Amino acid sequence: MTRLVYWLKEIRAPFLSLSVVLVFLGTAVAVGDHPVHLGRAFLAVIGLILLHVSVNVLNEYGDYHSGVDFHTSPTPFSGGSGMLTGGFIEPSHARSVGYLCFLVSFVIGIYFVWVTNLLILPLLLVGAFSVYSYTSFLARHALGEIFAGLGLGLLPVLGAYFVQTGEYGASAFAASVAAGILTFNLLLINEFPDLEADIRGGRKNLVMTLGLKPAGRLYSFLMAAMYVWIVVCVASGLIPLFGLLSVLTLPIAWKPMRWAWSRVGSKDALVPALGANVTTNLGTQALLGIGFILSTFL
C-alpha cells in the first residue's frame, strides 16, 4: 500500500482530473453534431491520462537530475512530489514508467488515426512533441507555457471532438481556446513559487523573461480575456447560450487574478490563489461542457 501511495504522489494523481475534464469538454461539443462513441471517449481519456502521467513523471525525473527539485519550496500545487528527492522511488523506475506511458498513449493515438483519418495526425504529433520535449527543451526556452496550453488544453479538446466526428469544428475550436488559456495560466501561476529553483536548474520561463509583476499581470489579463472569449463566442453562436454557465467560476478566478495583479510577492496568499486557480480551470471547463450538453437536450 505504501508503494502505491508513493506512486500516486509521483504521478500527481489528483491533477490528472484535468485530462478527464478536457476529454469531457471535447466530447460534449460533439454531442450536438454526431452520435457519441462512448468507447472512443473512454479510450481518449485513458490515452490523455497516460500522456499526462508521462509528462509529470519525466518532468520530475528531469528536475531531479538538474537539481531543480532540491531547491523548491513545495506547495500542494507546485514544487514536485518529493518522491525522487526523498528516495522513495528510484529515478530510473520513474523514467521507465514515464516512457512506458508515453509509448502506450502513442499506440492509442495510432488507433485513432486508423478509426478516423489522417487529419488527426498533426494534432497527435504536436501533442507528443509537447510531452517529450517539455523538460529538456521547451521549459528551457520560454516555450513551456505555450506548449502546455496546447498539449493539455487546446489540442485534447479538439482531439476528443475529432475522434467522435472525424473532423474539426468551429465550436470545438472555440471551446479549445478557452481550455488552452486556462492550462497556459495553470502552468504560469505555478511557476512563481519555483522561480529561484528554476533559475538554478537552467530553466527559462515567462516569469523569468518578463519579471514578477508583468508575468502576474499577463496571468490576470489572460484569465479575463478567457471569460470575454466565451461571452463573445456565445454572442456569435459558436458556443450555446448555456455555455455562459462557465462564467459562474469568475468569482473563484478573482482570487488568483487579484493576487497575480497586485500581490504577486505575497507568500501568505499564494497557496489559496493556486488552489482557486485549479478550481477555476476544472470548473470552467466542466461547466462549459455541461452547457453544450444542455443545449442539445433542452
| DSSP-assigned states of every residue in 240-262 | -GGGGGGGGGHHHHHHHHHHHHH
CA 209 to chain centre: 21
Burial class (CB in 10 A: 0-12, 13-18, 19+), 114: exposed
Residue ranges per structural domain of the chain: 2-293
Spell out the per-residue pLDDT of the chain, length 298, in tens: 588 899 999 999 999 999 999 999 999 999 988 889 999 999 999 999 999 999 999 999 988 888 777 877 778 888 778 899 888 999 999 999 999 999 999 999 999 999 999 999 999 999 999 988 998 899 999 999 999 999 999 999 999 999 999 999 999 999 999 999 999 999 999 999 888 888 888 889 999 999 999 999 999 999 999 999 999 999 999 999 999 999 999 999 999 999 999 888 777 788 999 999 999 999 999 999 999 999 998 8
* 2-293 CATH choice from 2.30.30, 1.10.3470, 1.20.1740, 1.10.600: 1.10.600
Q: 78 - beta bridge partners?
A: 75
pTM: 0.94
Q: 155 - beta bridge partners?
A: none
